[in-house]
Amino acid sequence: MKTRRLYLSVCGLLMAANMSTAQVFIADSAEYRFAMPPDEVDLNYSPMGPSSLDSAAMSRIGSGDRELEHLMRFGNTDLFSLKEESDIGWREADGEVRLILWRFEGNPYVNGLRQSAASLMLWHYLLSDTVTAERQEAVAYYVDMMLNTLHPDADLLERALEYLSIWDTWSPERRAAAARKGAKHAREMMAKQDESLLDRVGLGDWPKAEEMKSLEKKRHYRIMKAVLRLEHMAENAASN
Residue 100 is predicted with a pLDDT of 93
Give the separation between CA 118 and CA 159, rounded to whole angstroms.
13
Residue 171 has pLDDT above 90, yes or no: yes
Residue 57 is predicted with a pLDDT of 55
Residue 204 is predicted with a pLDDT of 72
Residue 86 has pLDDT above 80, yes or no: no
pLDDT tens string 94-147: 999 999 999 999 888 888 889 989 999 999 899 999 999 999 999 999 999 999
Whether the model pTM is above 0.85: no
Mean per-residue pLDDT, 150-158: 93
Residue 13 is predicted with a pLDDT of 47
Mean per-residue pLDDT, 175-184: 96
Mean per-residue pLDDT, 63-77: 78
Give the separation between CA 31 and CA 90, rounded to whole angstroms.
24
Residue 58 is predicted with a pLDDT of 53
Burial of 226 (0-12, 13-18, 19+ CB in 10 A): buried
Report residue 70's pLDDT band, with 50, 70 and 90 as the boundaries.
confident
